[in-house]
Amino acid sequence: MSVVVIGGGQAGGRAIEALRGNGYAAPITLIGAERHLPYERPPLSKEMLLDPSSTKIDWVRPDEWYAANSVDCRLGVSASRIDRAGKRVVLSDGGTLGYDDLILATGAAPRTLAIPGGDHPACLAIRTLEDAERLRPFLAPGRKIAVVGAGFIGLECAAAARSHGAEVVVLERAPRVLARGVTPRISSLYADLHRAKGVDLRVGVELVRIDGPANAPVLHLADGSTVAADVVVVGIGVIPQDGLARDAGLAVEGGIVVDAYGRSSDPSIWAAGDVTRHFNPLLGQHIRLESWQNAQNQAIAVAKNIAGLETVYAEVPWFWSDQYGINMQITGLTQDGAEDVVRGDLDGFSGLLFQMAGGRLIAAVGLNAVRDLRVAKQIIQLGGAVRAEELADPAVKLADVAKRLKG
């Protein structure tokens, strides 16, 4: 028996931890393209930028752990091909490695700008420790940062940069910020927040070209205007790294297709994390997530299945973002035509926005409302009938609603 894990990110690291934690004693090899052991990425656009002098890194496990648990870590090496018939992986250094079970945890990579100058040397995405390190020197008064894309990572970088007094311009093609993640009401709250903090936020604009010297990029917009900056943070989404799987003939549809156990169309090959399009039994559909919870817990489920403990991965999606000291959490999956219900003081960044459909709670966004949001997640999971009035009424404890649904 042996397991090979391709991809040393959060999912790869958690899978290995859970294999050993659940009694898997056979050889484990980790193939990681980055030079680092697995670490968590959320701080890259938060703590690491808010405190540029901090040297703290959130390792999944400290390096002694891998030696103590006999995990063979091959870092700075990537897998270039999977030979399914021979059950081996071909590595970038020419070596090969046999497996009984293979875990693909290759994650996602930042999308690059498909415009002239999209590869300008001042452009940088935030995905790795090195990326965050590169942005740090620009977090100071007098520096000017252009952020392309008003998604979570872009806005977190903008918030951190403002906290250090840097000038920030955010350019977004969609008519609103966070368009992929939240409803229009939350988008407009966050747009107002960033403007109030001094961000020059422009939505509905089209970036067409970047030129200028390496340390003084000039961004050209479709309306003829230009933005001069010192550095360009590109946060326009990520692409699942499913090429290895596709080349090997596995089912791939914008992510490696896996079932609720994390198994791909080849029973010896599993996948976890950002790279998967997985079946979620609670939602009754295949979804692809880019979230910390999914990277951790899907990986744990895969590890348990390999260790012989049959485990279905069935969780209500959950995500968070920290901006200007405000904690936003999102749970569930919204759908068109859902009804908005507000609890608390949303405009004062202390409340929740629920989304209901068919008399049930399907999604919630909490602003500085961690406990209520967690109960909302439970209510979504329980899935029974709830009334808008009770969710909106601060005198009704959400825990009591959950208790009723549990019966």
Ligand X SMILES: Cc1cc2nc3c(=O)[nH]c(=O)nc-3n(C[C@H](O)[C@H](O)[C@H](O)COP(=O)(O)OP(=O)(O)OC[C@H]3O[C@@H](n4cnc5c(N)ncnc54)[C@H](O)[C@@H]3O)c2cc1C
Q: How far apart are CA 172 and CA 204, in angstroms?
A: 6
Closer Cβ to ligand X, 123 or 391, answer by number: 123
Site for ligand X in 341-380 (CB under 6 A): none
Rounded to whole angstroms, what are the CA distances from 43 to 34, 49, 183, 233, 234? Answer: 17, 8, 25, 16, 17
Q: Which of 5, 16, 17, 199 binds other proteins (CB under 8 A)?
A: 17
Q: Answer yes or no: are the C-beta atoms of 4 and 29 closer than 8 Å.
A: yes
Site for other proteins in 278-317 (CB under 8 A): 292-293, 296, 300
- What one-letter code names the amino acid at 354? F
Closer Cβ to ligand X, 55 or 142, answer by number: 55
Q: What does 374 interact with, of other proteins, ligand X, none (CB < 5 to 8 A by kind)?
A: other proteins
Site for ligand X in 113-142 (CB under 6 A): 126-127
Closer Cβ to ligand X, 34 or 390, answer by number: 34
Q: Which stretch binds ligand X (CB under 6 A): 225-233, 253-261, 267-275, 351-359?
A: 267-275
Q: Which of 20, 37, 42, 278 binds ligand X (CB under 6 A)?
A: 42
CB 180: neighbour CB atoms within 10 A?
9
Q: What does 153 interact with, of other proteins, ligand X, none (CB < 5 to 8 A by kind)?
A: ligand X
* Residue 17 C-beta: closest distance to other proteins, Å: 7
Q: Which of 3, 31, 193, 402 binds ligand X (CB under 6 A)?
A: 31
Closer Cβ to other proteins, 16 or 386, answer by number: 16
Helices (H), 101-183: 129-135, 152-163
* Residue 174 C-beta: closest distance to ligand X, Å: 20
**Residue 107 near ligand X by CB under 6 A:** yes
Give long-range contacts, CB 8 A cutoff, 24+ apart: 346-352.
346/185, 346/189, 347/189, 349/189, 349/193, 352/376
Helix (H, G, I), strand (E, B) or coil at 211: strand
Instruction: Show the binding pattern over residues 296-335: x = contacts ligand X (CB under 6 A), - = does not.
Output: -----------------------xxx--------------
Residue reference for tokens 């648990």: 69
Q: How far apart are CA 18 and CA 29, in angstroms?
A: 14
* Residue 371 C-beta: closest distance to other proteins, Å: 5
**Residue 370 near other proteins by CB under 8 A:** yes
Q: How far apart are CA 88 and CA 102, in angstroms?
A: 9
Q: What does 231 interact with, of other proteins, ligand X, none (CB < 5 to 8 A by kind)?
A: none
Q: Answer yes or no: are the C-beta atoms of 176 and 187 closer than 8 Å.
A: yes
Contacts of 96 (CB under 8 A, 6+ apart): 83, 88, 89, 90
Give the β-pairing of 318-323 and 326-332.
Answer: antiparallel
- Nearest Cα residue to 340 out of 176, 183, 181, 175: 183
Q: How far apart are CA 134 and CA 112, in angstroms?
A: 17
Q: Which stretch binds other proteins (CB under 8 A): 13-21, 181-189, 244-252, 302-310?
A: 13-21
**Residue 155 near ligand X by CB under 6 A:** no
* Residue 246 C-beta: closest distance to other proteins, Å: 30
Q: Which of 3, 5, 11, 250 binds ligand X (CB under 6 A)?
A: 11
* Residue 376 C-beta: closest distance to ligand X, Å: 16
Q: Which of 273, 378, 379, 391 binds other proteins (CB under 8 A)?
A: 378
Q: Answer yes or no: are the C-beta atoms of 276 and 250 closer than 8 Å.
A: no
Q: Which stretch binds other proteins (CB under 8 A): 193-201, 304-312, 337-345, 367-375?
A: 367-375
Q: Which of 219, 295, 356, 382 binds ligand X (CB under 6 A)?
A: 295
- What one-letter code names the amino acid at 318? W
- What one-letter code names the amino acid at 45? S
End-to-end Cα separation, the chain, in angstroms: 45
Q: How far apart are CA 301 and CA 296, in angstroms?
A: 9
Q: Longest Cα pair distance anywhere in the chain, in angstroms?
A: 66
Question: In the complex, which residues of this chain contact other proteins (CB under 8 A)?
Answer: 14, 17-18, 40, 60, 292-293, 296, 300, 318, 370-371, 374-375, 378, 397, 399
Question: In the complex, which residues of this chain contact ligand X (CB under 6 A)?
Answer: 6-12, 31-34, 41-42, 44-45, 78-79, 105-108, 126-127, 153, 241, 244, 273-275, 290-293, 295, 319-321
